[in-house]
Amino acid sequence: MEEESKSLPPKDNFSEWYNELLMMAQVMDVRYPIKGIYVWYPFGFSIRKKVYNMLRALMDVDHQECYFPMLIPKPELLKESEHIKGFEDEVYWVTHGGLSPLEIPLALRPTSETAIYPMYKLWIRSHADLPLKLYQIVNTFRYETKQTRPLIRLREITSFKEAHTAHATWEDAEKQVHEAMDLYSDFFTKLSVPFVINKRPDWDKFPGADYTMAFDTLMPNGRSLQIGTVHHLGTKFAKTYDITYEDDKGERQYVNQTCYGISERCIAAVIGIHGDNKGLVLPPNAAPTQVVIIPIVFKSGGEEVLDVCRKVKAILNDSGITAVLDDTNERPGAKYYKWEMKGVPFRIEIGPRDIKNNAVMLVRRDGVKQSIPMDGLSQTVQNKLMDFQAELLKKASDFMWSRIKDCATLDEAKAQIESGWARMSWCGEKACGLEMENVTGGKLLGEPKGMTGSGTCPVCGKPSDKVVLVAKSY
C-alpha cells in the first residue's frame, strides 16, 4: 500500500498529530466518502483484534456472547420514553426497501436495549434463569452533528461491546455494577490506560438508567475522554418491556437490569495517551507485533546474521511472544522509522558484533537501549515486555493525576480545565452543578469514586464532603 511522504506533526499539536498518525501508521483511513465514517486498515484492525480478544477473554469468564439484530422497528425503539428522548436526534432511519417505502421505519441500533429486551421478556421465566449475562460486539450508529473524529466520535461505531444483565433484585444488579467496574478496571489496566470512575450527575446519566458510572481518562491535550460506562437500570426497562420472573413464592416480579459498554474509544485512548512524535507506542498487550527483529548486515556475513535472526524469532515465538523478522531489502534506518510508526514495543537488532558477543541489542520503543545475552533470551524479553507495559501505565497515570487540581473558585476551575480536570466541592444540587458548567464552559463528569473532600460548594457556599470533577470533554 501507498507510502506517506509527509512527516508526523509534533504531539503538542495534538489534534493534528492524532489525525495524521492514524493515517500514517495505517490504523484508520479517514478518506471514506461519508463524514464521521472511517475504514480500518488491516494493521489497525490487527490492533482491534488483539484488544477485543483480550476484552472477550475477560467477558467470557461469566458472560455469554450472542448477536441481536441491527435493525430495530420504530415502535420498539419508542416504547421507553425516557430512553428514546436521549437518542431521537441521533438515530438513522431506514425508510425504504428497494424502491418501496417500508410500512414501519427501522432504526439502525444506536445501542441495543430496545432490540434485546423484547427477547429477554421471552427468555426469562423463572428465578432459575437469573442472573442472565449476555454480551455482543457489534456496529452501532449515531447521526452525530458534533465534530466527528476517528475512533472517538463516529457515525458508525464499529466495535461496540455491550453487555446486558438481568437479576432478581436491585441489590443483585448493584453487585453486578461493581463486578462490571472491576472487569473494566482490569481491562484498562491491561491496556496501560489510567482512569477515574465518575458517578455521572443525574442529568447526564444514561437515558432510562437509575444511575451511571463512567470510566474517564485524560488525553494529552487536557481533554477528558469517556472510555466506558456501567449503568444500573433498575426495573425501568423491565416495566416497559414486561420482563418478569416467577419468584420462589410463585409470584411474578420485575427483573433488575444493568448494561455496560466499551467502544473503540479504548483504542483511541491507547493511541492518544502513549504515542509520541515518532508514531504509535503500543503497550505489549495491545501490540499485534511485540518484537521486530532487524538484521544488521554489512558487506559479508549476511547469511549467518539472518540465521541467528531466524533462530531468535523461533525462540521468542515458542515462548508466546509475537516476534517478526524484517528481512526486506530496506536500509535499517527506514525499517526503524516504519516499525516505530507502528508502535512495536521492542526492536531487536542483530549484527556480527552481537553474534560474537552471544547477545542481541534490544531497543525499546521509548529509545531505551540495552545488550541482552542470548542465554535466557525469551525470559528476559518477556520480563522486559512486562516492565515496559507497567512503565507505560505508570507514566500515563502520573500524567493523569498531575492534571487533577483542586479548585476553590469557578474562575480557577475555568483556567484548570484548559489542561486537565478541575476538582471542586459540590453541594449536590443540580442548579449549582449546571452553574459550574455554565461558568467554566466545562462538563461536570460527576463524583469520582473513592474521592471525598471537605470544602464548600463554590456556587452556593454550602459546606460539603462531596467532590466533582469538571473538564473539557470529547
Q: Which residues bind a copy of itself (CB under 8 A)?
A: 1-2, 29, 31-34, 37-42, 44-46, 48-49, 64-71, 73, 76, 88-99, 106, 108, 115, 118-119, 122-125, 129, 132, 134, 138-139, 141, 143, 145, 155-156, 158
Closest contact distance (angstroms) between CB of 37 and a copy of itself is 5
Q: Closest by alpha carbon to 296, among 360, 341, 384, 339?
A: 360
- Closest CB to a copy of itself among 21 and 308? 21
The grid coordinates listed for 414 are 475555568
Q: Closest by alpha carbon to 293, among 243, 250, 351?
A: 351
Beta bridge partner(s), residue 349: 294, 361
- The letter for the amino acid at 61 is V
- Closest CB to a copy of itself among 3 and 375? 3
Closest contact distance (angstroms) between CB of 125 and a copy of itself is 5
Closest contact distance (angstroms) between CB of 211 and a copy of itself is 27
Cα–Cα distance between 126 and 244 in angstroms, integer?
Answer: 8
Cα–Cα distance between 11 and 151 in angstroms, integer?
Answer: 18
Q: What is the number of other CB atoms lying within 10 angstroms of the CB of residue 134?
A: 20
- Closest CB to a copy of itself among 41 and 337? 41
Closest contact distance (angstroms) between CB of 136 and a copy of itself is 8
- Closest CB to a copy of itself among 121 and 414? 121
- Closest CB to a copy of itself among 29 and 437? 29
CA 202 to chain centre: 23
Cα–Cα distance between 436 and 204 in angstroms, integer?
Answer: 14
Q: Element (H or E) spanning 274, and its range?
A: helix 265-274
- Closest CB to a copy of itself among 67 and 203? 67
The grid coordinates listed for 418 are 484548559
Closest contact distance (angstroms) between CB of 48 and a copy of itself is 8
- Closest CB to a copy of itself among 144 and 406? 144
In DSSP notation, 286-345 reads G-S-SEEEEE---SS-HHHHHHHHHHHHHHHHHTT--EEE--SSS-HHHHHHHHHHTT-S
- Closest CB to a copy of itself among 97 and 376? 97
The grid coordinates listed for 255 are 427483573
Closest contact distance (angstroms) between CB of 108 and a copy of itself is 7
Cα–Cα distance between 413 and 417 in angstroms, integer?
Answer: 6
Closest contact distance (angstroms) between CB of 297 and a copy of itself is 21
Closest contact distance (angstroms) between CB of 21 and a copy of itself is 18
